[in-house]
Structure 1
Amino acid sequence: MPTNSRLFLRKESSSKGFTLIELVVGMLVIGIAIVMLTSMLFPQADRAASTLHRVKSAELAHSVMNEIWGKRYDQNTNANGGTPACGAAAGVACSTILGSELGEGRNDYNDVDDYNGLNETSKMLNSTQTYADAYPNYRLSVSVVYGSMANTKLVTINVTTPDSEVITYNMVRSNY
């Protein structure tokens, strides 16, 4: 039986590569992925740094606040109680100076208003280190004023982060 060799020969085609269309589509997909990464994912690193700066800012402000909370309201208020607080009774007047009294060093701060004017170049409590040494590139500013209500002092702590973001922390200390 004669056979036609053409009928029985099958040409096996093996593809060992990509077509031009597949290469173009692949490059297009990779290009879109790179654009998405650069526009969405990579800016998150900047936001993470800002968050870290805010946390360190809060740490610095809260350390100063905790120190202030441990001090008495005024120079003329008895630290151990017993006598009426200044301004609460006749004859016991509050001090008129907002800031440290003459000759008072950083470790001698004993009332809230001594912290008026404290900044990053000031020494930390019981230390030779300044706030600028412990928190490089951060700026600190503390102001103390009499509050709008009687016998209160408003303490404002401004911390400037390395990103130049000013974060303000406030506390009210009352005379009790």
Structure 2
Amino acid sequence: MQTRGRSQAGFTLLELVIGILVSAIAITLLTSTLYPQADKAGETLQRMRSAELAHSILNEIWGKRFDENSGVNGGVPACGSADGVPCADDPTGPSSKNRNDFDNVSDYHGLTINSLMLNSSQRYVDRYPNFLMSVSVGYRDSSTKAQKLITVTVTTPDGEDIVYQAIRSNY
């Protein structure tokens, strides 16, 4: 009787070892390149939220008049000009006005993350938990008082300070 050769299916030990080695290299590449990107995605999201917060504050400030003594909608002549009334004093601290009554750039000096949002009973911290924010307003050049420098500093939950600045002119 003749025995026929039977083909065997399966992997040899050498093939299994090579397969495990290739899998280990692939996993190492994934963990060293792709997974750290997930941390950067979180940082990017925090920076975007920081920009969103600062942009909302700056847009609001931008729509207000330059000074307490400036005319509504700019008005001619501008305060401090030869034909105009003198400009009000430098901003020295948080405005004593109700948040909804802020009507000029200087009123925003001292605004923080714990301040009320415009026309709301919510505070900025309610919308941006774990963020810090402060606003300072001062003259860009104290001798001319023609421009105010608005600085919004936002600190992300990771502790990164991001500074946003705008210049508001007296016109």
Normalising by structure 2, report the TM-score.
0.91
Q: Does the Cα contact within 8 Å between 1:100 and 1:109 map onto a contact in 2? A: no
Runs of 4+, deviation exceeding 3 Å: 80-83, 99-103
1-side partners of 2:86 and 2:98: how far apart? 24
- C-alpha distance in structure 1 between counterparts of 2:52 and 2:140, whole Å: 25
Task: Give 1:137 shift.
Answer: 1.1
The corresponding residue for 1:20 is: 13
Q: State whether residues 90 and 139 of structure 2, in contact with CA within 8 Å, keep that contact through their aligned partners in structure 1.
A: no
1:49-101, Cα deviation, whole Å (9 max, x unpaired): 11111111111111000100000000011114544111112561111140578
- Report whether the alignment pairs 1:36 with 2:29: yes
User: What are the Cα deviations for residues 5-60 of structure 1, in whole angstroms up to 9, with x where unaligned?
Assistant: 7xxx5742422221111011000000001101110011111111111111111111
| Distance across 2 between alignment mates of 1:62 and 1:81 | 22
Q: Please state if 1:155 is matched with 2:150.
A: yes
Unaligned runs of 5+ in 1: none
Q: 1:97 to 1:82 in 2, by over 3 A?
A: closer
The structure having more radius of gyration, on CA atoms, is: 1
So what's the TM-score if we normalise by structure 1? 0.88
Distance 1:128 1:160 in 2: 23
Question: Does 2:160 match 1:133?
Answer: no
Identical residues among aligned pairs (%): 54
Distance 1:102 1:44 in 2: 43
1:86 aligns to 2:57 (yes or no): no
Q: Does 1:146 align with 2:139?
A: yes
User: Which consecutive unaligned segments of at least 5 residues does structure 2 have?
Assistant: none
Aligned residue pairs, count = 169
- Could you tell me which residue of structure 2 aligns to residue 120 of structure 1? 113
Structure 2 equivalent of residue 77 of structure 1: 70
